[in-house]
């Protein structure tokens, strides 16, 4: 789970849930029932033509030559790293501000995560910090397209070329995002994404995909997820495990993919509405979109003082908010062996102040007005001079 508040839906019309998946389900309900009946009747539950059809459609949507469906976003990242050549003894640079899965996948690939800080405006990985962290053991960098916008790929691609590193993007939160028109699979060795139910493209359970233009990387990732077979199903050329996208999920995802552009536009409209409502409202720091980016607003993340109190008081007013992320990766017990001398003051400050407001396709203007009214209730207002209350 990627959020500390992934509660969905609400039966009380006065409440605003953090995420409501019901409008998405309604959009595909009629289409999905007969498709699922067909899968049940055919009895083909893994691999097969429905999975292939989704992989093709998703690759085309992302502008990639290949998409490999797998069992989760975390698996997708591990497989993408391994297929990109990451192995035991390597170092892989990751941003400290991300979900645990980013670093878990590195460890599962046998490598050591090296945590670097993020940019103070976008909260995305900072290329200068990446450059400073490179050693002769560095094999790859994982830009995380956090909250729904691309990391600074032009700088990272140049850096990867200079140092001969693989770029393996964590695009779990960025289906449909672009930078200067280039999508999540452009310029990288591979990208990994998640179909966790609350993602912009979410399954009815877990799922993920590896995206790449390189047929060898795609074949390698697929092989790992099929017990290391290559070609003949009885020939195991490497040690793998089971990681496939279920047919049921492929059918759901293919139906949802047809709506994704519209849903992303609805998210963008909701983000613009928050921008407007918050402009003269409570003292907080709004999200920053990098120039040239098409943000797909998986999350609308503001920064506030006294965040934990604000979160509780919003909850008391019926507003479901989230925190992404309260625990920087370099401070997690799980990653203590790889903490090294990680120094990430921007991530540390963000962890204490980030607050994700309700965001989902179908959120209404009235719901957003309620969110902002509740924020105005619990936050100090702007100063008389009209400046925002300073927030780290």
Ligand X SMILES: Cc1ncc(COP(=O)(O)O)c(C=O)c1O
> Shortest Cβ contact with ligand X: which residue?
73
What is the gyration radius of the CA atoms in the chain, in angstroms? 21
| Per-position x/- string for 119-158, each x denoting binding to ligand X as judged by CB under 6 A, each - no binding | -------------------------x--------------
Binds ligand X by CB under 6 A, chosen from 24, 97, 122, 194: 194
Shortest CB 251 distance to ligand X, Å: 18
By CB under 6 A, residue 322 contacts ligand X: no
Pairwise CA distance, residues 95 & 168, whole Å: 13
By CB under 6 A, residue 106 contacts ligand X: no
If we measure between CA atoms, which residue out of 211, 207, 209, 210 comes closest to residue 195? 207
Pairwise CA distance, residues 209 & 207, whole Å: 7
Candidates 84-92, 93-101, 241-249, 367-375 — which segment interacts with ligand X by CB under 6 A?
93-101
If we measure between CA atoms, which residue out of 170, 128, 115 comes closest to residue 147? 170
CB 352 within 8 A of CB 392: yes
Shortest CB 284 distance to ligand X, Å: 23
SS3 state at 277: helix
The pair of structure tokens assigned to 392 is: 């780290």
Q: What's the DSSP call for residue 110? A: T
Shortest CB 263 distance to ligand X, Å: 17
SS3 state at 67: strand
Residues in contact with ligand X, counted by CB under 6 A, come to a total of 16
Candidates 6-14, 53-61, 99-107, 301-309 — which segment interacts with ligand X by CB under 6 A?
99-107
By CB under 6 A, residue 5 contacts ligand X: no
By CB under 6 A, residue 97 contacts ligand X: no
How many residues in the chain?
Answer: 392
Candidates 12-20, 165-173, 231-239, 302-310 — which segment interacts with ligand X by CB under 6 A?
165-173
| Helix, strand, coil in percent for the chain, rounding step 5 | 40, 20, 40
Q: Which is nearer to ligand X, 55 or 283 (CB)?
A: 55
By CB under 6 A, residue 225 contacts ligand X: no
Shortest CB 362 distance to ligand X, Å: 21
By CB under 6 A, residue 247 contacts ligand X: no
Q: What DSSP string runs through 153-180? A: HHHHHHHHHHHT-EEEEE-TT-TT-EET
Note the residues at the interface with ligand X (CB under 6 A). 2, 72-74, 98-99, 101-102, 144, 170, 172-173, 194, 196, 206, 208
């Amino acid at each position: 789970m990627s959020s500390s508040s992934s509660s969905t839906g609400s039966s009380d019309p006065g409440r605003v849930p953090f995420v409501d998946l019901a409008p998405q389900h309604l959009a595909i309900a009629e289409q999905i029932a007969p498709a699922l009946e067909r899968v049940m009747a055919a009895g083909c539950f893994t691999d097969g033509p429905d999975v292939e059809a989704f992989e093709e459609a998703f690759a085309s949507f992302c502008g990639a030559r290949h998409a490999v469906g797998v069992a989760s976003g975390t698996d997708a990242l591990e497989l993408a790293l391994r297929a990109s050549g990451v192995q035991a003894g390597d170092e892989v640079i990751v941003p400290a501000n991300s979900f645990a899965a980013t670093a878990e996948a590195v460890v599962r690939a046998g490598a050591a995560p090296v945590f670097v800080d993020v940019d103070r405006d976008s909260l995305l990985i900072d290329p200068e910090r990446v450059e400073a962290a490179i050693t002769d053991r560095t094999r790859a960098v994982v830009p995380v397209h956090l909250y729904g916008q691309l990391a600074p790929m032009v700088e990272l691609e140049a850096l990867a070329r200079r140092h001969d590193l693989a770029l393996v993007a964590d695009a779990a939160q960025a289906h449909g995002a672009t930078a200067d028109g280039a999508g999540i699979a452009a310029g990288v060795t591979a990208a990994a994404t998640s179909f966790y139910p609350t993602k912009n493209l979410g399954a009815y359970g877990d799922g993920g995909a590896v995206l790449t233009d390189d047929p060898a990387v795609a074949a390698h990732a697929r092989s790992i997820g099929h017990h290391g077979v290559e070609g003949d199903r009885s020939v195991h050329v490497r040690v793998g495990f089971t990681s496939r996208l279920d047919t049921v999920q492929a059918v759901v995802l293919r139906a949802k993919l047809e709506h994704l552009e519209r849903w992303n536009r609805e998210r963008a409209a909701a983000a613009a509405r928050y921008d407007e409502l918050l402009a003269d409202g409570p003292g907080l720091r709004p999200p920053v979109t990098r120039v040239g980016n098409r943000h797909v607003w998986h999350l609308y993340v503001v920064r506030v003082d006294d965040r934990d109190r604000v979160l509780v008081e919003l909850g008391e007013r019926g507003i479901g908010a989230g925190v992404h992320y309260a625990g920087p990766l370099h401070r997690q017990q799980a990653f203590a062996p790889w903490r090294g001398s990680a120094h990430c003051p921007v991530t540390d400050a963000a962890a204490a102040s980030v607050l994700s407001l309700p965001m989902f396709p179908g959120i209404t203007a009235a719901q957003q007005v309620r969110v902002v009214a509740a924020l105005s209730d619990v936050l100090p207002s702007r100063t008389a001079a009209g400046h925002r209350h300073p927030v780290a």
